[in-house]
Structure 1
Amino acid sequence: MADVAAKPIIELQHVTKIYPNGTVGLKDIDLNINHGEFVVIVGLSGAGKSTLLRAINRLHDISKGNILIDGESITEARGKSLRNIRRDIGMIFQSFNLVKRASVLRNVLTGRVAYYPAYKTTFNLFSKEDKQRAYEALQRVDMAEKVYNRADELSGGQQQRVSIARVLSQAPKIILADEPVASLDPQTTHKVMTDLKKINQELGMTVIVNLHSVELAKEFGTRIIGIRAGEVVFDGPVSETSDAQIAEIYAGQVEES
């Protein structure tokens, strides 16, 4: 078990992303993320935080380098191999990405689609076990009473908690959350971040969150990675992160929480 724990679950090796217009999104990034970490990535808008997250699950193809997920290259994976690696990576978006006219239960069940042939998901032929799994995921984020509501009947915070339940039903090893609280009020923000922290601590899932708020990063993260202009300019434990180091990440432009 010690060897497994010591092996990083995510390895970025000299990762560079250059967009077709020549913009450098990521520049020669080397990073290891270990099993069970709660990592917060901070930096100004446009620094490369979202590009980094989307490169990890290959929503963006990188220009150079390699990304390993639990020892397998997602960069080089194709077809079924790529789908299998992606099953281990759950994604939470700022915009929730729910099917607005569908029920909460149906939305959470979409976390299971990678385990079914297409015709079964088209006709909602999910197993009883997966429906129970979806309900338990909703219980974990205090949304079980909304199971039959339509997604567009929910508040923004409730929709984000449904999207967390959807990821839980997927049963991934890794959760990537791209600005998950950017559009939420402070009270709802705290609830969503607390849910993610509990999932990390109780289920052992590795969580990587992009945030604007330094205060939230310090409150919930165990490790902070600072990105500026596509480069990692800071990487260290939250407990050892100083205000001066935060200022360096933002190049003197510390954003208000």
Structure 2
Amino acid sequence: MTDTNLIEIKNVNKIYDNGVVGLKDINLNVKKGEFIVIVGLSGAGKSTLLRSINRLHDVSSGDILIDGQSIQKATGKKLRRMRRDVAMIFQNFNLVKRASVRRNVLSGRVGYYGSFKSTLGLFKKSDVDLAVKSLQRVNLAEKFYDRADALSGGQQQRVAIARALMQEPKIMLADEPTASLDPATSTLVMDDLKSLNKDLGITVVANLHNEGLALKYGSRIIGLRAGELVFDKAVEQVSETDFDEIYGRTGQIKIKGGNK
């Protein structure tokens, strides 16, 4: 981890068209190499925050900087280039189930191609080699030609990680990556994310419900409640009672943690 801020979230608010407040005055910095875990009840704003970082959602006000550049103000080619640096893993894997693992992983490379070549699957040999290496990192190289729907849920999520790696990202966003997996498989998926963080220096920001996984894998815990940032501490400073407060089980948090 370095002292350089890779993600800067400045006074961000998100209000949906129906008036629901998704995020309220969020200020948060993420340093290069951190493994951030965001926790909170369903509806706390965790997914909204993640999807704002790579601009799957536009925010209502405020700004988000990626490596010093505003992704909120970026358009056209600049926005596409910035999004290549921010890969995302989804709870439901988002694979094309009838397509091969090969095709699914290579689809992570489409940000480097025009729509014509990517639609026809005209990928370079170097990209195919990279796809094999990405699958090797998640121990699934032998599944290269299998159909995605022939894999277990855990294997599909690890294929999704390999696909995200094809972007050669600086940041990996993971939105409840283990929510539909059993405990043993959840550990394998989280091990893969931690390996990318430690070995490749990829900054990871993950939403998790499981408190044990949050403490085991995160270097810093962020708590959200009703769209507000209510907790921010290094993992070694976090206690079980902190989770009770984040989830509103014992009362309100009055003082936010440090490391902003």
- 1:102 is displaced (CA, Å) by 0.8
* Runs of 4+, deviation exceeding 2 Å: none
Could you tell me which residue of structure 2 aligns to residue 51 of structure 1? 48
What secondary structure, in the 3-state scheme, does the structure 2 residue paired with 1:162 have? helix
- 1:253 is displaced (CA, Å) by 7.1
Alignment counterpart, residue 5 of structure 2, candidates 3, 8, 17: 8
Separation in 2 of the partners of 1:126 and 1:197?
Answer: 29
Alignment counterpart, residue 188 of structure 1, candidates 185, 194, 202: 185
Partner letter of residue 113 of structure 1?
Answer: V
What secondary structure, in the 3-state scheme, does the structure 1 residue paired with 2:65 have? strand
Alignment counterpart, residue 136 of structure 2, candidates 127, 136, 139: 139
Query: Which runs of structure 2 are paired with 1:10-159 in the superposition (5 Å)?
Result: 10-159=7-156
- 1:119 is displaced (CA, Å) by 1.3
Structure 1 gap ranges (5+): none
What secondary structure, in the 3-state scheme, does the structure 2 residue paired with 1:9 have? strand
What secondary structure, in the 3-state scheme, does the structure 2 residue paired with 1:55 have? helix
Could you tell me which residue of structure 2 aligns to residue 179 of structure 1? 176
What secondary structure, in the 3-state scheme, does the structure 2 residue paired with 1:62 have? coil
Separation in 1 of the partners of 2:19 and 2:120?
Answer: 44
- 1:74 is displaced (CA, Å) by 0.4
What secondary structure, in the 3-state scheme, does the structure 2 residue paired with 1:91 have? strand
What secondary structure, in the 3-state scheme, does the structure 1 residue paired with 2:5 have? coil
Could you tell me which residue of structure 2 aligns to residue 206 of structure 1? 203
Could you tell me which residue of structure 2 aligns to residue 197 of structure 1? 194
Deviation per residue, 1:192-217 (Å, 9 max, x gap): 00000011000000000000011110
Residue 244, structure 1, aligned to residue 249, structure 2: no
Separation in 2 of the partners of 1:185 and 1:127?
Answer: 37
Partner letter of residue 145 of structure 1?
Answer: E
- 1:6 is displaced (CA, Å) by 2.5
Alignment counterpart, residue 230 of structure 2, candidates 233, 239, 249: 233
Partner letter of residue 50 of structure 2?
Answer: L
What secondary structure, in the 3-state scheme, does the structure 2 residue paired with 1:47 have? coil
- 1:7 is displaced (CA, Å) by 2.3
Separation in 1 of the partners of 2:108 and 2:227?
Answer: 31
Provide the aligned length of Structure 1 versus Structure 2: 251
Separation in 2 of the partners of 1:45 and 1:187?
Answer: 23
* Identity across matched positions, percent: 63
- 1:20 is displaced (CA, Å) by 0.6
TM, length-normalised to structure 1 = 0.96
Separation in 2 of the partners of 1:26 and 1:42?
Answer: 14
Could you tell me which residue of structure 2 aligns to residue 170 of structure 1? 167
Deviation per residue, 1:21-44 (Å, 9 max, x gap): 111000000000000000000001
Deviation per residue, 1:199-248 (Å, 9 max, x gap): 10000000000000111100010000000010111001010012222111
Separation in 2 of the partners of 1:193 and 1:219?
Answer: 9
Separation in 2 of the partners of 1:71 and 1:200?
Answer: 21
- 1:188 is displaced (CA, Å) by 0.4
TM, length-normalised to structure 2 = 0.95
Separation in 2 of the partners of 1:73 and 1:82?
Answer: 9
Partner letter of residue 30 of structure 2?
Answer: I
Partner letter of residue 196 of structure 2?
Answer: I
Deviation per residue, 1:152-173 (Å, 9 max, x gap): 1111111000000001111000
Q: CA RMSD in A?
A: 1.2
